Structure 1
Amino acid sequence: MGRWEPNARMRLVRAAIDLCAEQGYEATTVAQVVERAGLTKATFFRHFPDKREVLFAGQEEHAALLTAGIGAAPEGVAPLDAVAAGLDALAASFSPEQHEFSARLTAAVAASPELQERDALKTVGLAAAMTAALADRGVPDPTSRLAAELGVLAVKQGFAAWADGDRDDAGALAGEMRTALESLRRAAATLG
């Protein structure tokens, strides 16, 4: 591929995930990523501040999609139903290509303490975005925080199930996230 072909960002993500799956995150360098992607270091650093961030591409977009989905939920719905609308909006942005590399990405994160730390920070950011979106709807604290935390757990559980599943469409991801959210709703109801 020529260096000026479109989708440089996704090419970098795919190259980084492939290399991390082959040789581990710690052994993977930015130079290897750009060589595999057929791009330059300058292009890499236009898209990502460091090699860790290439594996977490899209966090800001994910937070914005969750926020927009929660905000667009019908008036008067329960907080978890608004979260479900946010999950649907997020899931709609995922492609079959992302499904194809999702299991390798999950394995790379699980194998690296540094990536696990970054994943935890991502989780905090998503929870904060959902909490703020729920607060904007008038959901009081701590209800907004609890609903957001359940939403984050649903994202993680739903994504893991989707990554392991055969269906690669966004509808399947939305279904997995909603199933996880419903399971969490039932579990929360048993807390007494």
Structure 2
Amino acid sequence: MSTMPSAAPAPPLPYDVVIRGGTIYDGSGGSGYPGDVGIKGDRIVAIGTVEGHGKREVDARGMAVAPGFINMLSWSTVSLPADGRSQSEIRQGVTLEVMGEGSSMEPLSPTMRANDLKRQGDIRYPITWTTLGQYLEVLARNGVSPNVASFVGAETVRVHELGEARVDPTPAQLRRMQALVSEAVDEGAMGVGSSLIYAPGPMPRPPN
């Protein structure tokens, strides 16, 4: 009894996604140019005239195709713990949110945590962290759409040790503030972010 040979399986498509016919702005600062973008996995693997097909084809004619944008002054610190989809940023093409200008979500003392809970407005969420590492773990566990980076806020470090009073730190308090910054950097902070026009940033000493 003869059997028919089975057909060879079709070769896999070379791309997962092909974005067709958009105006490409590649981030170099030059003018946009028409072309296609081929994506495989999480990488762009072809730009220009892309031969072959993708599992998904996107018609981008009349649209701009660009790398993700960076929000260098993000205040999604409050919204991301409550809703990690970040629709207001993602729908504008923002893929990296940089936080921590002046104030940050950490480090928190028990008093700061209680005050932050009391001061929550329409967006409400539990505050289960005290350090930057713990805050980032909460975001990762909940799931967030954008990439996230953070400075540690100079104001937050000050309030942690001095409260909101108009006082200068003692040498011992200053050392504790330095230790908080060092801990935050070890946990991923990009550095210290200051915003000295906002209290308690400037904190001028009261007149004699």
Structure 1 length-normalised TM? 0.27
Identify, as 1 or 2, the structure richer in strand: 2
Of structures 1 and 2, the one scoring higher in RCO (CA 8 A, sep 6+) is 1
Identify, as 1 or 2, the structure richer in helix: 1
